[in-house]
Amino acid sequence: MGRWVICVVLVLGAGLVAMPAAADDAVDEFAAVDAHALAAPAAVATSLSPLSAYLVEPAQNDREIARAIFRWITANIAYDASARADSRDAEIVLSRRRVVCYGYAVLFQALAEASGLEAQVIIGHSKRFAPGMLEEPDARPNHAWNAVRISGEWQLVDCTWGAGYLDQHRSFVPTFNPHYFLTPPQVFVYDHFPLDPRWQLLDPPISEDEYLQRVHVRPPFFDCGLRLVSHQSAVIDADESLTVTIGAPAETLLTAALYLDGWDLQDGCTFAQRDADGFVIRARFPTAGAYVLRIFVRRHDAPGDEYAWALDYVVRARSGAQSEGGFPRVYQSFLARNCRLDGSLSRTLPAGEPVEFSLTVPGAEDVVVATGGSLSRLPADGWRFTGEVPVSPGPVVVFARFAGRPAYEGLLQYTGR
């Protein structure tokens, strides 16, 4: 297993948020073990033997031993592409603390074996997480991770991706990600493909072609319980527009962005709203070309209003939309209130003409359209609001007022032209 192994670490583009720190149940299960690992005194971390002896002290089973090792490594070892030559020796890794993926894997194996566990270093492919980048068949292996035997069964661990990510300047950002500790094999294979098929831990293993065709999903996809409904492959051929359906639990919110040559095309190119199966995401392509449709997710009860990067599709658009505009701008309340828009779906509205608005706004007592300095109330049928409104040039905004809230909340914005 040589020096030609190159590590690919998760790369987050500008403006994107890091992945969630942990699922609540994982935090609770390993809270004491994690705290012990993080409190390891410097004196025990000078050599493999005293460090492994310290880490196993509170462990009650193989899972907790493996977790203590994983947590210490992810907190104390940093990714450094220049350290490749020294990453094959576990004692050197422990001394220098800066390695590439192979060094992480070598150190995990050495500490696991010193603690009485059986572990292997696994070499293979990982998927790049940068706009539009797809793995090529028969490419050189670019990553290393581990398999560890837990209570008689092999399970999968990636300390590199558990430790952090590279930012847009390729600087390492330490950010603990427990998703890559004992990840289920059917999940792990979405972004890890070992050279030896047996280390997929799947029966039967998938082919390289199937691996390459799988959608680029990230940990928040699984953490938030999302499902692929309409499109199962990473690459989609489309005309000037596309509709994708993603299954999503009621407590989740989805939004999307469209990228061309690494640039976010901003508002108007995508539109996401909930339906019976989850979320329907529409995309509109200004010109022919290869795009990345990126989908983000957050839980209703998550603090703040940031969304986590969940998955990517690469879309090959054969043509571009000829008309001006795009989709209306969506405000946070539209998503958070599980609203549904049936019309109009065009951002640019004909000024001087009546336009029909039709939308469902659960819990709303009143829905109005603001245009040209005046307000027009939409007639209600339950929570469905439908009506024609004469549109003036300039901003056209749809507002709603909800029970117990005196102020109106913005839902959608159009432009009269």
pLDDT band at residue 12 under the 50/70/90 scheme:
very low
Q: Are 327 and 282 in contact (CB under 8 A)?
A: yes
User: Are 182 and 252 in the same domain?
Assistant: no
Torsion of CA 175, 178, 179, 185, to 10 degrees: 140
User: Are 182 and 270 in the same domain?
Assistant: no
| H helical segments located in 21-166 | 24-38, 48-55, 62-76, 90-96, 101-114, 159-163
User: Are 296 and 367 in the same domain?
Assistant: no
- 226 SS3 class: coil
Per the structure, the complete domain to which residue 119 belongs is given by 24-207
User: Are 161 and 82 in the same domain?
Assistant: yes
pLDDT (0 to 100) of residue 21: 38
Domain assignment present for 17: no
User: Are 303 and 334 in the same domain?
Assistant: no
User: Are 307 and 351 in the same domain?
Assistant: no
Domain assignment present for 395: yes
User: Are 274 and 176 in the same domain?
Assistant: no
Cα–Cα distance, 153 to 185 (Å, whole number): 12
The predicted-structure confidence for 336-361, as pLDDT tens digits, reads as follows 899 999 999 999 999 999 999 999 99
Domain assignment present for 9: no
Mean pLDDT value of segment 367-371: 98
Q: Which residues pair with 290 in a beta bridge?
A: 316
Domain assignment present for 89: yes
| Of 128 and 43, more confident | 43
Helix axes 62-76, 24-38, angle to 10 degrees: 70
Domain boundary among 275, 297, 317: 317
User: Are 344 and 298 in the same domain?
Assistant: no
The predicted-structure confidence for 166-211, as pLDDT tens digits, reads as follows 877 778 889 999 999 999 999 999 999 999 999 999 999 999 999 9
Residue with tokens 């009506």: 387
User: Are 51 and 79 in the same domain?
Assistant: yes
Number of domains in the chain: 3
Domain boundary among 317, 352, 379: 317
CATH of the domain at 159: 3.10.620
CATH of the domain at 351: 2.60.40.10
User: Are 134 and 280 in the same domain?
Assistant: no
Domain assignment present for 6: no
Domain assignment present for 271: yes
pTM of the model: 0.84
Domain assignment present for 393: yes
Domain assignment present for 322: no
pLDDT (0 to 100) of residue 181: 98
Mean pLDDT value of segment 15-27: 39
User: Are 385 and 334 in the same domain?
Assistant: yes
The predicted-structure confidence for 130-140, as pLDDT tens digits, reads as follows 544 455 555 78
User: Are 292 and 147 in the same domain?
Assistant: no
